Each structure stands twice: as C-alpha cells, then as structure tokens.
Amino acid sequence: MAQLAEQGYHSVIREVEPGLTGIASEPPDIGVGQRTLLVSTEAGNLLWDPAPFVDDAAFDAVRAAGGLAAISSSHPHMYGAAVEWSHAFEAPILLPAADEPWLMRPDAAVQRWSGTLEPLPGVTLVQCGGHFTGSSVLHWAAGADGRGAILSGDTIFVTPGEDRVSFVYSAPVRLPLAAIAVRGIVDALAPYEFDRIYGGWWSPVVRRDGKRILERSAARYLELLMNAPTSGAAPNTSGSASETSGAAPAFSEGDYDIRTDNKFGYQTLIDIDAEAAAHEPWFNQTLTSVNDAVVRLGVIEGDFHWHKHDDTDEYFMVLEGELVIELQDRKPVRLARHQSYTVPRAIVHRTSAPVRTVILMVEAAGVVPTGDAA
C-alpha cells in the first residue's frame, strides 16, 4: 500500500445517499477498479466490495462513521483489501463457502456462509450464483428512503442507460450468463423488495423501480438468449422429452458424447480430475461398476432435457462447478461443490449447469443415460 501511495494512489470518499458512503481508489486502475460501499445502520456498519487500495484517509472516514461490524464482497474479483480492513477494525470477513477455492489470501477473520445471511438488522447477504457459484448481492432494506436497495457488484450488471440490467459470465470478453443462472438470480431475489440497484462502480445506477427492471430485463434476456417465449417453463409431459417453453433447446444426440463402455473396470486407479480435464461439455462416461450399479462421470454446461428413469434412482455428486436439478412439481435443488442428491425413480427432472461442471453419477447398470420418455 505504501508503494502505491508513493505512486499517487489515494482514496476518494463521498456520500452516495444517506446511510451509504462510497470509497474508491484514484486512479481507478487497480484490479477491476471497483468502488467500496459502506452501509451504515444503528446496529453497526458493513463494508461491501472493498477496493484493492486503502489508505489512512479511508480508515479515518470509517472510524468517524462508527467503525465496522463486518466486511463482505459480491465475488472474488472484488475481495480487494478486505484483509487490511479486517485487521484495522477487527471485523469478520463474510464470504460465501462456495467461493472458498478462489480465496488467495486466507485469514483467520474469514467466516463462511451459504444461502442467505443477515449480519445486521435490515442488511441481508443473498447468494445468487451466476458469475461465480457464490456470487452474491447485499439487500439493504432501509436504502432508497426505505424502498430498499441492492448492492450487486457485477452479479447484476447495470447498463449505461440506467433503465436496464444484464448478466455476464465474463465481463472482459463479454460472455453472456447461462439461462439457468439468470433464472437463479431472479428467484433468489424474489422475496426482497428494492427500488434501487447499485453496481460495482460510481455509475451507472438503477435509481428507481429496480425490482421491476430486474424482472423485465431477465425476461427479455432469456427470450433473446433462448429465441423462445419465457412463459410456462413447466416440463412437457405429453409422452416425449421435447423442448419446453423458456428452456434450452431439446436434447440432440449430436450434442452429447455418451460412452457406456466400462472404461476402467476393477482394480484400476482412476484419476477423475485428469479424466474430466480431458473432456469438454457435454460428456458422459461409465468409469466402473459396483455390484449392480455403474459409476459415471459427467462434464456438463447448460440445460439438459426433461426426462425420467422408470426403474432406477439416480445419484449426483458435484466435484466442480454447480448443478441445478429441476424437479417436476417441486422446488429445484442447487448443488455446490462436494454436495450430492438422489433423484428417485420415475421422477421427471432436468439437470442444468450455469458453468462448466463435473459430476459423478451412480445408477443401475444398463440405464439409458438420456432417460425414459417424460
């Protein structure tokens, strides 16, 4: 930090709205150049998306505001100087457990969470997924004069006109986010009211009608991405596994590399990491058999088709990435790394992966991997 200060880097501090203070590095050319936000409440203050540079002026401003109760970030690109802030104020760093592999500077102050967490009254961290499995937003109930505000980093990407948002998997190369991940963001924020959306920088900002803009933008995004209507995303149960409205295109035999040969058999060491690294989505290979079951490796990304297995249960374990299992007439199940789930026989379901995902499956020998008609 001292070396950067000698080069002319310094902190700029300004009020964003009552109860919300912005702190940014100038010039803003370190890392992704994000602007820190300090959320102030009667119960304490939370620092969000710390910038990569911090100096005494920033520390003094936060001390004057009452110090810190906690520190958090939307995703790993915006961890910034979290450790420096934590040591200065003896404050915990709250990070999603799903993104732990991306933590390059482990510290005893790091506390892990999943799903949702309310570190202060009226301040809720919401894991939305998307850009990273643990990508999150902060919901501030008192923001926007009590109408609610979202601090999103780039989990939700505010567009220059400030009247729309978008969703990116990689901002630098403009890669769009998968449809299932966009649906996940909207679903995660459905319980919360908010009028304003702050991105990771001073501007742009959605200044009013934020929730409606999020939902409208997501619907338009999905319509364009999928080239299909976005309503009625229930599985087709007419007797064939066909495309559903608002879903990814139906399964095509040419899109999926399915290998049912028992590649390794018995008494062979299997390097699953190496096997997965050698293949791209969509890939499915029987690795070995155990009694009357087979163990299969999947490397997937995007949406599979709705299907079922009439005579066999199906076990999934995520080794890398994120798996969403959509179930007919039930809430979807979201699996992070090293989480697992069993789908009972005859249950209509669909697997989706917002990013490249590696999974293990255990199912009865002789199973048809593409499933029986739904």
Identify the CATH number of the domain in which residue 33 sits: 3.60.15.10
Into how many domains does the chain fold? 2
CA–CA distance, 53 with 36 (Å, rounded to integer): 10
CA–CA distance, 149 with 48 (Å, rounded to integer): 13
In a domain, 59, yes or no: yes
In terms of phi and psi (left: phi > 0; alpha: psi -120 to 50; beta: otherwise), the region of 203 is: beta
- Pair 285, 220 in one domain: no
**Mean local confidence (pLDDT), 313-326:** 94
**Mean local confidence (pLDDT), 52-79:** 94
- Residue 327 φ/ψ, nearest 5 degrees: -120, 135
Which of residues 4 and 315 earns the better pLDDT score?
Answer: 315
% of the chain with per-residue pLDDT over 90: 61
Least confident of 31-40, 86-95, 252-261: 252-261
**Mean local confidence (pLDDT), 249-268:** 72
In a domain, 284, yes or no: yes
Least confident of 52-56, 253-257, 330-334: 253-257
**Mean local confidence (pLDDT), 103-121:** 93
Whether 283 shows a pLDDT value over 80: the answer reads: yes
- Pair 191, 49 in one domain: yes
93 CA to centre of own chain: 19
For residue 367, what are the CA distances in angstroms to 301, 344, 346?
Answer: 22, 14, 13
In a domain, 6, yes or no: yes
What is the band of 31 on the pLDDT scale with cuts at 50, 70, 90?
A: confident
- Closest of 309, 213, 189, 301 to residue 256, by C-alpha: 301
CATH number of residue 284's parent domain: 2.60.120.10
Can you give the pTM of this predicted structure?
Answer: 0.64
- Pair 287, 153 in one domain: no
Whether 213 shows a pLDDT value over 70: the answer reads: yes
What is the band of 253 on the pLDDT scale with cuts at 50, 70, 90?
A: very low
Whether 97 shows a pLDDT value over 80: the answer reads: yes
The predicted pLDDT at position 373 comes to 64
CA–CA distance, 44 with 60 (Å, rounded to integer): 16
CA–CA distance, 221 with 251 (Å, rounded to integer): 22
In a domain, 232, yes or no: no
What is the band of 145 on the pLDDT scale with cuts at 50, 70, 90?
A: very high
| Cis preceding linkage at 204, omega within 30 | yes
Whether 235 shows a pLDDT value over 80: the answer reads: no
- Pair 297, 167 in one domain: no
What are 263-280's pLDDT values in tens digits? 999 999 999 988 998 888
The tally of CA atoms less than 13 A away on the side-chain side of residue 3 is: 0
Least confident of 15-29, 99-113, 153-167, 254-268: 254-268
Identify which of 60-69, 231-240, 257-266, 267-276 has the greatest average pLDDT.
Answer: 60-69
- Pair 72, 208 in one domain: yes
Q: Give first-to-last CA distance, the chain, whole Å.
A: 59
Whether 330 shows a pLDDT value over 60: the answer reads: yes
Please answer whether residues 74 and 154 qualify as being in contact, where contact means their C-beta atoms are separated by less than 8 angstroms: yes
Least confident of 22-36, 290-304, 336-350: 22-36
CA–CA distance, 43 with 166 (Å, rounded to integer): 33
- Pair 141, 64 in one domain: yes
Which of residues 201 and 236 earns the better pLDDT score?
Answer: 201
- Pair 295, 194 in one domain: no
The predicted pLDDT at position 51 comes to 93
| Range(s) of the domain holding residue 100 | 2-226
In a domain, 100, yes or no: yes
Three-class SS of residue 6? helix
- Pair 147, 292 in one domain: no
In a domain, 242, yes or no: no
In a domain, 316, yes or no: yes
**Mean local confidence (pLDDT), 129-135:** 89
Please answer whether residues 86 and 103 qualify as being in contact, where contact means their C-beta atoms are separated by less than 8 angstroms: no
- Closest of 171, 147, 144, 143 to residue 157, by C-alpha: 171
The predicted pLDDT at position 206 comes to 95
- Residue 104 φ/ψ, nearest 5 degrees: -85, -15
Whether 89 shows a pLDDT value over 50: the answer reads: yes
- Pair 45, 190 in one domain: yes
DSSP sequence for 290-344: ETTEEEEEEEEEEE---BB-TT--EEEEEEES-EEEEETTS--EEE-TT-EEEEP
